[in-house]
């Protein structure tokens, strides 16, 4: 069965839109999200476009800031400072990766934790691991939403996360742990990865390598969450065409999995949907104080 992120995110965004519609009257304004992109990376541009589109769908005000790839780090930090100090801005997102001359850690640290809708600031990372009320990274949050909405209960199950990034691997491991799964984090140095993956009742793959996991590495009846978004070139009689594929070989995985996320249309739309949710939460938190 398909874990349909496109469908769930559409429903959640419609619910958010009706909540946001009531905020203008109640609070005098709607939530606002600033999205900063540095440079012209085509994948990042697509992600940012989709984020701005989701703002339009939910009624959230978006502020799109595009900076040239050669922008000085100082200028980016100053921009973030202005947004931190702007009471009309609730969320700030700096699209990653950044050009190599800019220190990613310094940039993430510069975002006010209360406006860090990505949940990447050390304060929010600590908050997640210490079970505090804080922004939770969008992709892991979206994955849990998808799992829960489908009636899958991770409690007592073996979960294997392939990939140990700060954006996905580490936080999804924590969220699965919170849901009482027994969690293993596997990575590029894991010995006999296929055997480790076959132990998983819930397999989350976030490595960024096209079709790295196939059906032979998946336990029968497992839930498979594919976080990968890889652009590959596929030869056809009319020439090569570009296609998006996941980190999981969908066709062979389908044969053995009970539930699986498609790429596209699985985790991707959920990530963007949770970003809208985090922006609304940041707005509400700031209005509670
Ligand atoms: N680049 C890839 N994923 C993400 C994300 O979730 N947030 C940001 N800011 N950049 C990303």
Beta bridge partners of 236: 239
User: What confidence score (pLDDT) does residue 162 get?
Assistant: 98
Distance CA 254, CA 233 (A): 22
How far is the C-alpha of 182 from the C-alpha of 17, rounded, in Å? 36
CB 62 within 8 A of CB 35: yes
CB 98 within 8 A of CB 38: yes
Q: Which atom of ligand 1 is nearest to the CA of 167?
A: 6
Tell me the percentage of the chain whose pLDDT exceeds 90: 99
Instruction: Please give the Cα distance from 116 to 82 (Å, whole number).
Output: 14
Where does the pLDDT of residue 248 fall: very low under 50, low under 70, confident under 90, or very high at 90 and above? very high
Record the pTM. Answer: 0.97
Q: Is the pLDDT of residue 218 over 80?
A: yes
Q: What is the pLDDT of residue 14?
A: 98
Closest ligand 1 atom to Cα of 138: 6
CB 239 within 8 A of CB 260: no
Cα–Cα distance measured from residue 251 to residue 248, given in angstroms and rounded to the nearest whole number: 9
Q: Are 260 and 246 in contact (CB under 8 A)?
A: no
Ligand 1 atom nearest residue 96's Cα: 10
Atom 4 (ligand 1) nearest CA: 96
Quote the ligand 1 centre to 13 CA distance (angstroms).
19
Task: Check if the beta carbon of residue 135 is closer than 8 Å to that of residue 141.
Answer: no
Q: What is the pLDDT of residues 160-212, one digit of tens each?
A: 999 999 999 999 999 999 999 999 999 999 999 999 999 999 999 999 999 99
Tell me which residue has its CA closest to atom 1 in ligand 1. Answer: 96
Question: What separation in Å is there between the alpha carbon of 133 and the centre of ligand 1?
Answer: 21
Task: Please tell me the predicted confidence (pLDDT) of residue 23.
Answer: 97
Task: Determine the pLDDT at residue 68.
Answer: 98
Helices within the chain (DSSP H only): 5-21, 23-27, 42-58, 73-85, 104-110, 122-129, 138-149, 169-178, 193-198, 250-254, 267-288
DSSP helix/strand/coil, 226: strand
Closest residue by Cα to residue 8 from 116, 141, 119, 118: 141
Residue with CA at minimum distance from ligand 1 atom 11: 96
Which residues have C-beta within 8 Å of that of residue 266, sequence separation ≥ 6? 2, 3, 4, 5, 6, 146, 225, 226, 246, 260
The number of C-alpha atoms within 13 Å of 103 and in the hemisphere containing its C-beta is: 6
Cα(254) to ligand 1 centroid in Å equals 28
Geometric angle at alpha carbon 41, from 35 and 47, rounded to 5°: 45
Report, as residue numbers or ranges, the catalytic residues.
51, 95, 118
> Which residues, judged by CB distance below 6 Å to any ligand atom, belong to the binding site of ligand 1?
93-96, 118, 138-139, 167, 271
Burial letters 201-234, b for 16+ CB under 10 A, else e: bbbbbbbeebbbbbbebbbeebbbbbbbbbeeee
SS3 content of the chain, % helix, strand, coil (to 5): 45, 20, 35
- pLDDT for residue 278: 98
* Ligand 1 atom at minimum distance from 118 CA: 7
Q: Choose which residue among 37, 44, 96 to substitute to test ligand 1 binding: the one with the highest number of ligand atoms within 8 A of its C-beta.
A: 96
Q: Which residues pair with 158 in a beta bridge?
A: 182
Asked if pLDDT for residue 289 goes beyond 80, the answer is no
Residue 117 has a CB neighbour count (10 Å cut-off) of 29
Ligand 1 midpoint to CA 42 (Å): 14
pLDDT tens track for 27-73 = 999 999 999 999 999 999 999 999 999 999 999 999 999 999 999 99
């Amino acid at each position: 069965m398909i874990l349909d992120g496109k469908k769930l995110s559409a429903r959640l965004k419609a619910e958010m839109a009706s909540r946001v519609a009531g905020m203008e009257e109640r609070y005098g304004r709607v939530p606002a999200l600033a999205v900063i992109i540095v440079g012209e990376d085509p994948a990042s541009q697509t992600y940012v476009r989709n984020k701005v589109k989701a703002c339009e769908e939910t009624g959230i005000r978006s502020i799109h800031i595009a900076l040239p790839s050669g922008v000085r780090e100082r200028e980016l930090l100053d921009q973030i400072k202005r947004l931190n100090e702007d009471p009309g801005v609730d969320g700030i997102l700096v699209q990653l990766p950044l050009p190599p001359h800019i220190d990613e850690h310094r940039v993430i640290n510069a975002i006010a934790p209360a406006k860090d809708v990505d949940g990447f600031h050390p304060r929010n990372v600590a908050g997640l691991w210490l079970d505090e009320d804080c922004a939770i990274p969008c992709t892991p949050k979206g994955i849990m939403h998808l799992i829960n909405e489908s009636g899958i209960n991770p409690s007592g199950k073996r979960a294997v996360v392939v990939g140990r990034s700060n954006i996905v691997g580490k936080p999804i491991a924590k969220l699965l742990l919170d849901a009482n799964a027994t969690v293993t984090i596997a990575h590029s140095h894991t010995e006999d990865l296929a055997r480790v993956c076959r132990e998983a009742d819930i397999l989350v793959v976030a490595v960024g390598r096209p079709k790295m996991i196939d059906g032979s590495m998946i336990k029968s009846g497992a839930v498979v969450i594919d976080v990968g978004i890889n652009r590959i070139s596929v030869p056809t009689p009319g020439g090569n065409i570009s296609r998006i594929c996941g980190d999981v070989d969908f066709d062979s995985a389908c044969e053995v999995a009970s539930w699986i996320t498609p790429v596209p249309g699985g985790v991707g739309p959920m990530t963007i949907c949770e970003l809208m949710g985090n922006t609304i939460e940041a707005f509400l938190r700031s209005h509670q104080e």
